[in-house]
Amino acid sequence: MNLLYSEIEEDLRASVRAVLTDHCPPSAVLARLESDSPCDMDLWRILVELGVTGLHVPEDRGGQGASLRETAVVMEELGRFVAPVPFLGSTVLATTALLACDSDLVGSLASGTTTGALAVPLTAAPGSPFPATVSASADGLLTGRVTSVVDARAASLLVVPVAGPALYAVRADAPGVTVTEVVSLDMTRRIADVSLASTPGVVIASGDQATAAVEAALRAGAGLLASEQVGIAETCLEQTVRHVKDRHQFGRAIGSFQAIKHRLADLWLELVCARATARHAADALTRQADDADVAVALAQSECADLAVHAAEEAVQLHGGIGMTWEHPAHLSLKRAKVNQLALGTPGEHRMTLGHMVHLLMDIPSRR
């Protein structure tokens, strides 16, 4: 196990950061939120051209032949910029599910010609029961409703779990499909309710394979979300350190006050620890290690709370400007708060972790 970033991963980070710096500054994100198309498909197409949508897809299936470690690096950078693109829903959740099904459809998601979404609630955690809110008739028509599906509005392909269990591929423009956006605290990552009414679909997996595919997607999603949470925390810390160096009161920089130093030093230590857990999760998922479930639960237990803490510190230590719409601190805070509920809360992951390591007790969330 090597948790250090490789030279290739650092080069990838530099490329993604350069694109996001040019095309996703805070002013552009804020303007996007006030427009009729909150998902930045122009930026998405640039990321597709960069090849990041198929990083962990094998080359013989249309991808780049890298691994989830590289995908985790991209997630870090997207978290830093709070980028409004459907990377989590399409590249992580839907692509991982299709990979586990050995579906030929994964090539179109890897190449970016298709954008996908896994039709499960955003709050679904690894180890959750197989979703059964959609049923299939004898002639293969699907009926049912799934709430709070991430990136469903941007998807042209829906990967739908169906009672049975089974997984179906459904075109978003198929008859009977209704995608209704719901209000989310984080306006940079949209969620929607998906309703199906006698909708045609194609079976891509059934039985144990379908169950395993959904579980693999949720596990990878939770594990890689930890990397995004690290990215959020890192940019919040960097912005705050810059501010307290420049902001003066009583004739001195507020960052010179001991109380401020202590708060930022504590946050830095939390970030270092959280980064290690996120890297461990990405590495364990890549190696398909026996302790991958433990690594994911540990990472989410640590990183979800860290991101919220870092964003709260950023808002508070920026003072009045941190409370304004124009300052990007609220974007990071909203993404961090929603991520804290996504793919299992920290408390759920701590409970899961406790059982996996034979610590059978109630483990409350720290926050």
Residue 127 forms part of a structural domain: no
Could you tell me if 202 and 256 lie in one domain?
A: no
145 and 48 part of one domain:
no
| Cβ atoms < 10 Å from Cβ of 355 | 14
CA atoms of 262 and 204, how far apart (whole Å): 54
User: Rounded to the nearest 10 degrees, how much is the dihedral formed by the CA atoms of 204, 164, 300, 352?
Assistant: -140
Do 294 and 233 lie in one domain? The reply is yes
**Domain enclosing residue 140, as ranges:** 134-206
Residue 304: the pLDDT is: 95
Give domain status of residue 129, yes or no.
no
Quick check: is 291 in a domain? yes
Query: What's the N-to-C CA distance of the chain in angstroms?
Result: 31
- Does residue 223 share a domain with residue 237? yes
At residue 318, the pLDDT reads 82
235 and 298 share one domain? yes
Question: pLDDT tens string for the chain (367 positions)?
Answer: 788 899 999 999 999 999 999 999 998 998 888 877 778 899 999 999 999 999 999 999 988 999 999 999 999 999 999 999 999 999 999 999 999 998 889 999 999 899 999 999 999 999 999 998 999 998 889 999 999 999 999 999 999 999 989 999 999 999 999 999 998 898 899 899 999 999 999 999 999 999 999 999 999 999 999 999 999 999 999 999 998 888 877 878 877 788 888 999 999 999 999 999 999 999 999 999 999 999 999 999 999 999 999 999 999 888 888 888 888 899 999 999 999 999 999 999 998 888 888 776 555 555 5
* Domain count within the chain: 3
Question: Domain ends where: 166, 190, 206?
Answer: 206
How much is the pLDDT for 360? Answer: 62
Let me know whether 293 and 234 are in one domain. Answer: yes
Instruction: Answer whether residue 120 is part of any domain.
Output: no
Q: Which of 183, 206, 229 is the last residue of a domain?
A: 206
168 and 270 co-located in one domain: no
Considering the domain architecture, whether residues 183 and 108 belong to the same structural domain is answered as no
Residue 144 forms part of a structural domain: yes
The CA distances from residue 68 to 78, 93, 266, in Å, are 15, 12, 29
Q: Does residue 283 sit in the same domain as residue 342?
A: yes
Helix (H, G, I), strand (E, B) or coil at 82: coil
Residues 201 and 226 in one domain: no
Spatial distance between the Cα atoms of 143 and 164, rounded to a whole number of angstroms = 13
Residue 366 lies in a domain: no
- pLDDT given at position 366: 52
Identify whether the C-beta of residue 98 lies closer than 8 Å to the C-beta of residue 104: no
Last residue of a domain, one of 206, 233, 248: 206
Ramachandran angles phi, psi of 302, nearest 5°: -90, -45
